[in-house]
């Protein structure tokens, strides 16, 4: 899905759901998705309440390199599990997250690109919206929609595709450059024809979602101009939950091939089933899947996604090729933590509250913005479909201010999931802390995580703790040393 709509959804709560329901937070941070706090949000008006970007290794690679690391480069602990997993050898012991000098420099260069995007993408996103308003594209699309019908739903049916496609075409150069960088650094192996087809399918999904949300937004706006922010917030919540439920069933299969994991790796399936049972969750082998990621990326991933009957475990084929079974179980244990520790409902509550504030701020400020520039932009009133980009412009700015806060909340949840993963695998996996550290090391090496981000960088841009800190925690967390028990798993 396009960046704008992914964040759009996240703004209105679904993001909170998708973030932890599709938490690829296995060992990486969400930053494997290029952080475009603005370009994406651009669609908030629709409150596309996510998909996920998934937490760590997202299903779509991105320039954003997980900044979660430290320690000076060192060859002593490099390439621990990837080659060993393939060769069946015992993985080397990890004492800290380190990289050999050549790989260290490669991650450092990529990290600079990521940070540049983090700064420039929001500026570009705001510029796109400003140009959209200045060129009066909204009024032009609105006029076409009104000539088509006097009924709002038909108008939304005409206006939404034009609006979405225009913004995403403006954003296309950014996406193309991002994919070029990913291919250059070996994170992506997807051909351009395949990439273009995925982009097309993503736009199709975006348009369908946008039609629904834009229709609801302006129906509420016109029915209750003073309370639209509250009623739209109420309407977006159940729709966001629905999106999270259908994502693994309908949307994900559009982009990737899934097959029963039991047919591909029976031993891994049995190990995951044992971990799931200890966690007290109900994810039978029939809902564990192998995903063919290697046709598009070299990155690794294993995650839990969906809610209720759509809940499932997904393991990428690249992960199976480069990690041992215990390491994959450690990754899945982290993901299970998001479910068992109720990060989905907690995240939903937090993002729902934040979304309510955002919508209210949008309500309080849109009138001022339209009084100042509305006539020049050809926008009649707030209830005018052409006001959507102006509303998104405001919400984008507000969300930027909240980004460090939401990242901080995410890092807290990710740390809890790390702790849960260590506890749920304790006793199931010999030396589980070392195995978890090995999994993080492999993830860092393959996905090019920079080892030395500054504390300020982590604070402002990262939604996962630094990998260096996660490895250190995995190696030192031992409540059982003196006969104690874990906090979450007894």
Whether the per-residue pLDDT at 15 is higher than 60: the answer is no
Mean pLDDT for 259-281 is: 96
What's residue 306's pLDDT? 83
* Range of weakest confidence among 49-53, 230-234, 276-280, 406-410: 49-53
DSSP string of 90-135?
A: PPPP-SS----HHHHHHHHHHHHHHHHHHHHHHHHHHHHHHHHHHT
Chain centre to alpha carbon of residue 332: 17
Whether the per-residue pLDDT at 18 is higher than 70: the answer is no
Mean pLDDT for 153-162 is: 98
Alpha-carbon distance 477 to 426, whole Å? 11
Sign, CA torsion 368/371/376/382: positive
Q: Which residue has the higher pLDDT, 376 or 400?
A: 376
Q: Which residue has the higher pLDDT, 37 or 176?
A: 176
Whether the per-residue pLDDT at 30 is higher than 80: the answer is no
**Residue 143 vs residues 163, 164, 195, 210, 225: alpha-carbon distances, Å:** 13, 16, 34, 18, 21
**Residue 452 vs residues 109, 448, 468: alpha-carbon distances, Å:** 12, 12, 8
Whether the per-residue pLDDT at 117 is higher than 80: the answer is yes
Q: 3-class SS at 297?
A: strand
**Residue 55 vs residues 62, 116, 203: alpha-carbon distances, Å:** 12, 21, 22
Write the pLDDT tens digit of every residue in 72-112.
Answer: 333 333 333 344 454 456 788 999 999 999 999 999 999 99
- Is residue 18 within 8 Å of residue 54, measured between CB atoms? yes
Of 70, 23, 25, nearest to 469 by C-alpha is 70
Q: Look up residue 341 and give its DSSP letter.
A: T
Count how many Cα atoms sit within 13 Å of the Cα of residue 454 in the half-sphere of its side chain: 5
Mean pLDDT for 317-321 is: 96
DSSP string of 251-277?
A: IGGGTS-EEEHHHH-HHHHHHHHHHHH
Of 13, 8, 9, 17, nearest to 353 by C-alpha is 13
Per the prediction, the chain carries an average pLDDT of 84
Mean pLDDT for 191-210 is: 96
Q: How confident is the model at residue 308 (pLDDT cuts 50, 70, 90)?
A: confident
**Residue 6 vs residues 53, 122, 233: alpha-carbon distances, Å:** 7, 15, 17
Mean pLDDT for 192-219 is: 96
- Is residue 116 within 8 Å of residue 461, measured between CB atoms? no
Q: Look up residue 288 and give its DSSP letter.
A: E
What's residue 89's pLDDT? 66
Alpha-carbon distance 436 to 89, whole Å? 17
What's residue 480's pLDDT? 95
What's residue 50's pLDDT? 27
Whether the per-residue pLDDT at 5 is higher than 70: the answer is no
Of 206, 213, 204, 4, nearest to 121 by C-alpha is 4
Whether the per-residue pLDDT at 63 is higher than 60: the answer is no
């Amino acid at each position: 899905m396009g960046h704008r709509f992914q964040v759009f959804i996240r703004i209105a709560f679904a993001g909170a759901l998708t973030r932890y329901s599709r938490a690829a937070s296995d060992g990486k941070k969400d930053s494997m998705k290029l952080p475009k706090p603005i370009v994406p949000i651009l669609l908030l008006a629709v409150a596309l309440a996510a998909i996920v970007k998934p937490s760590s290794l997202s299903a779509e690679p991105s320039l954003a390199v997980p900044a979660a690391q430290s320690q000076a480069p060192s060859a002593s602990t490099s390439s621990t599990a990837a080659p060993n997993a393939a060769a069946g050898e015992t993985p080397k012991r990890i004492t800290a997250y380190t990289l050999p000098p050549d790989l260290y420099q490669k991650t450092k260069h990529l990290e600079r690109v990521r940070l540049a995007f983090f700064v420039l993408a929001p500026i570009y996103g705001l510029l796109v919206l400003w140009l959209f308003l200045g060129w009066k594209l909204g009024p032009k699309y609105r006029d076409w929609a009104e000539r088509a019908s006097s009924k709002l739903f038909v108008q939304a049916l005409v206006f939404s595709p034009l609006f979405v496609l225009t913004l995403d075409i403006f954003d296309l150069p950014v996406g193309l450059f991002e994919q070029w960088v990913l291919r250059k650094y070996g994170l992506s192996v997807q051909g351009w024809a395949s990439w273009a087809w995925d982009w097309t399918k993503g736009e199709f999904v975006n348009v369908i979602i946008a039609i629904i949300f834009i229709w609801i937004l302006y129906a509420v706006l016109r029915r209750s101009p003073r309370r639209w922010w509250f009623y739209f917030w109420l309407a977006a919540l159940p729709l966001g939950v629905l999106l999270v439920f259908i994502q693994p069933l309908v949307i994900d299969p559009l982009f990737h091939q899934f097959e029963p994991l039991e047919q591909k790796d029976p031993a891994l399936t049995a190990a995951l089933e044992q971990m799931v049972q200890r966690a007290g969750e109900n994810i039978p082998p029939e809902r564990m899947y192998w995903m063919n990621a290697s046709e598009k990326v070299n990155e690794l991933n294993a995650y839990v996604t969906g809610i209720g009957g759509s809940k499932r475990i997904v393991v990428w084929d690249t992960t199976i090729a480069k990690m041992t079974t215990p390491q994959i179980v450690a990754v899945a244990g982290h993901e299970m933590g998001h479910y068992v520790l109720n990060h989905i409902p907690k995240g939903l509550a937090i993002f729902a509250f934040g979304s309510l504030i955002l919508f209210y701020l949008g309500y309080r400020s849109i009138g001022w913005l339209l009084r100042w520039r509305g006539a020049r932009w050809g926008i009649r009133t707030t209830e005018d479909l052409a006001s959507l980009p102006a509303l998104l412009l405001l919400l984008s700015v507000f969300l930027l201010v909240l980004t460090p806060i939401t990242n901080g909340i995410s890092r807290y949840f990710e740390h809890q999931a790390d702790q849960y993963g260590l506890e749920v695998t304790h006793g199931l996996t010999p030396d589980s802390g070392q195995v978890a550290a090995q999994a993080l090391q492999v993830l860092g090496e393959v996905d090019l995580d920079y080892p030395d981000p500054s504390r300020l960088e982590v604070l402002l841009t990262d939604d996962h703790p630094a990998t260096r800190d996660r490895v250190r925690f995995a190696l030192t967390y031992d409540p059982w040393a003196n006969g104690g028990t874990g906090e979450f798993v007894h």
